[in-house]
Structure 1
């Protein structure tokens, strides 16, 4: 992983492959952002003019490379756009800094070291730059069968290697708050990238059993408690949702409980993640063109797993328990059929009208099990419905909850950390559409408002008087287009930052 350091060097004296500066769109053209003064001086105060000559505008994410002027130790200057110049007295927003740093890091793939001279007036801004750079530097090396291998089926290629080191300039390395901010950025980025790696793995390399093994390995490394229920324990325990979804696959399901505890904690968060390691739709087979990216249907479980480990790495004074509901949804002679009735872990019965509405079935069992421990709040994360993508697009996740104040709090936290989200309603009239003549409820309801129907289904399995929020990350969990900002192609690690900040707030006594 890319290293992050706080450097006492100036942008002019740092020895690196490149130095990164920020530029913005001003009323009269390109404006050089704070932090770039030494570089601008080396250009005789004409850096903005040179960049404009090269076609730069300062637009968000725009990257312009140019040879360094005399007096700079780094041979290359990379100017990255921060967008509109902020109003007088205001600084650049943290998300603008995060995205700019990510764009710069991506443009420097293959470099050994780069200095980032972006505006870092306070520890929070420094954390945003560090986080963006580390996330932007992420690369997933796909399996290759040709050429020299590193022993894991991955071909080493120096040109595609991630940026080796990010030297954060202006970050006051002797200041405790700046040091803590940098350390947090490293831990958080490492766990988001862990989630990305899991999401990007092909489904023949990550089934429920191997995912559970990943959790066990991390538990050993970070001192976490882990419990894995295999198919025998799930069947004996009455986990009808997990078994019903997983019974059509040769790779049986798992329920993983991975827990971080702190001796001074007086609050407990339960995080529940949908972990469908591959979703064919089951007997209700997905149409052609909808199967190719279904390895990402475990993104919720990856986010929960990463968030628990991040809480441990950061030593937060809160107990965080993750529940990974893992299954592979496949069609076969043993698969659940439309019309079958499952008895869930809660004892409720569910008529399965569509086997491709499987995520809510595995989450239902996990939500009931998590509720038995009476946590102070539960948050589930899932790539649950295409309806949410239709409603909010590919960059925004929906938030539903059984408590308006908790929903508002989670939404505010998501926006604070730079994850686009939107609070969604849970109209009670949609519940009637899930009435079943042969079971307590069906796993499908009205087609219109399908994302809201799924939330109402999950609500049925949350313990009484426990604040609960549901994050439907179907849109932002997997990015199929060109990389942008700090967002790569493939798995994104969506919701990890929101879950970690929620844990931090809870540790600080502000559960919301």
Structure 2
């Protein structure tokens, strides 16, 4: 899909569908009616008079030009609700539903009339370029569907070939916002494709190949450690979780040096369980198919590396992904086993289905080699986090308030929102082991917190944030610009975080 920006008007732009916005305020709706009905022979006025369109949030009207001066087949008018109540997220959602409507009408080309920014800026308080970026992201992300394995063309989404955002006056700020959106959306699509792919397509070797190919294409270094190298490093956690699988583990190391003169270096770590059966502590059959998405943290990390490199941000960034399946077999690790990790700490295995934290222990320990400015890990780690926060917020844990606040700020802006949960010392007693340094589960209570406390033992004294994306990465239904299944969450959040860091250079 091509995303572009052009100079034009509603009469000069050629497209299958043009999307236009309106507020529900009487005077603003009247202005829209007067402007559009010149080409519509009074259709919009008739709809409004009949009470069939009021400009409410996400309300749609499909209108067909009667004036030969228009080059578009149809106009899709979408409501934004009252101007005083507008938010950037409401704009995103309205743009998303209009784009989906255009797609459902088999539009191959969609044009979006850039709205009058002066009507928004006192309410939204965002720069023009980010305003444009948000519109573009909402439209493109809404059009995603994982349908590569469908052979019935009728069941596939009609492929939109082009999204063209146009304005009457050319603007470099709008152009820049759309350039950034194009890169970010491509990265989110990449993460979604990796997460939604079945486990017979994406497993440790092919996940590593995806990272290698991305690095070659976009100019960041990728090194993949195979099992003998992982054994040499003493990554006993990753090796133990892998022991039940016929597919060998991989440890993926990605490096981007966007600011060689700086000593600052951030490390992002993603859980790469390409399929999680639970191992010997086997999961129930119902819902186990969703465990192909248990590498969503890894997908987000790889895609973020790609986006940061393509945006050429002046930051130094390392991405680490421990990748393996978690399978039951005669050689699988077992409850009661004691494992020695990369940094030497030992883990008592209480439950083999709490495997994500075990492989992250090795990766977080390895991250300390870089003497990082901060470590951020993303993992579909606990069902307890979904119970606590549902599908609308990522659980955030950490040891550095400033870092947590910066991530929270990026989350509010992108609407990939995070919510802090405590990591008080009292929770340590729940994962205390009699026979090892730490136990990999803490019982029934505070499951998301005890998982985070486990991880904290492997980050040293470095600033660290853990993002539990179990709810936000694997969605049980479709939302406005998020698909059912793998959402690609974390990419937009982290890109915004690192863009903010870049602006402070």
TM (norm. structure 1) is: 0.90
* Matched pairs, number: 491
Structure 1 unpaired stretches of 5+:
147-154
Q: Do the aligned partners of residues 102 and 140 (structure 1) sit closer, same or farther apart at CA in structure 2, a change above 3 Å counting?
A: same
After superposing on structure 2, the runs of 4+ consecutive aligned residues of structure 1 that deviate more than 6 Å are 33-37
Checking the alignment, whether the CA contact within 8 Å between 1:24 and 1:33 is kept in structure 2 is no
**1:211 aligns with one of 193, 204, 207:** 207
Structure 1 residue 158 displacement after superposition: 10
Give yes or no for the alignment of 1:106 onto 2:106. no
Change (3 A) 1:35 1:6: farther
* Equivalent residue runs for 1:11-90 within 5 Å: 11-26=10-25, 32=29, 38-43=35-40, 47=44, 50-51=47-48, 53=50, 55-70=52-67, 71-86=69-84
Q: Deviation at 1:81? A: 3.1
What is the SS of the residue equivalent to 1:350? strand
SS in 1 for 2:84: coil
Summarize the Cα distance change of 1:159–1:215 in structure 2 as closer, same or farther, 3 Å threshold: closer
Give the superposed CA RMSD.
Answer: 2.3
Q: CA deviation at 1:476?
A: 1.3
Which runs of 5 or more residues in structure 2 are unaligned? 118-127
Q: 1:474 & 1:447 partners in 2: Cα distance?
A: 17
Equivalent pair of 2:40/2:63 in contact (CA under 8 Å): no
* Whole-angstrom CA distance in 1 between matches of 2:31 and 2:492: 27
Displacement of 1:236 in angstroms is 1.8
Instruction: Describe the SS at the equivalent of 1:366.
Output: helix
Pairwise CA distance, 1:102 = 1.9
**CA distance in structure 2 between the partners assigned to 1:460 and 1:108 by the alignment:** 50
Match of 1:506 among 498, 501, 504: 501
Q: Secondary structure at the match of 1:181?
A: helix
SS of equivalent to 1:415: helix
3-state SS of 2:426 partner: helix
| Aligned counterpart for 2:250 among listed residues 254, 260, 263 | 254
In 2: Cα distance, 1:502 partner to 1:468 partner: 14
**Distance in 1, Cα, partners of 2:114 & 2:176:** 19
Partner Cα distance (1:323, 1:351) in 2: 24
SS at match of 1:293: helix
1:403 to 2:375 alignment: no
- Aligned counterparts of 2:169 and 2:247: Cα–Cα separation in 1: 51
Please give the secondary structure, in 2, of the residue aligned with 1:400: strand
2:195 aligned partner:
199
Q: CA deviation at 1:286?
A: 0.8
Q: Which residue of 1 aligns with 2:122?
A: none
Partner of 2:460: 463
- TM-score (norm. length: structure 2): 0.92
Indicate conservation of the 8 Å contact 1:23/1:80, yes or no: yes
- 2:90 is matched with 96
TM-superposed deviation, 1:453: 0.8
Deviation at 1:74, TM superposition (A): 1.5
Q: Which residue of 1 aligns with 2:427?
A: 430
Deviations 1:298-319 (A, max 9, x none): 0000001000110010010001
* Residue 113 (structure 2) pairs with residue 117 (structure 1): yes
2:265–2:370 contact (8 Å) kept in structure 1? no
Q: Distance in 2 between matches of 1:223 and 1:76?
A: 42
Task: Note the 1:174-189 alignment, pairs <5 A.
Answer: 175-189=171-185
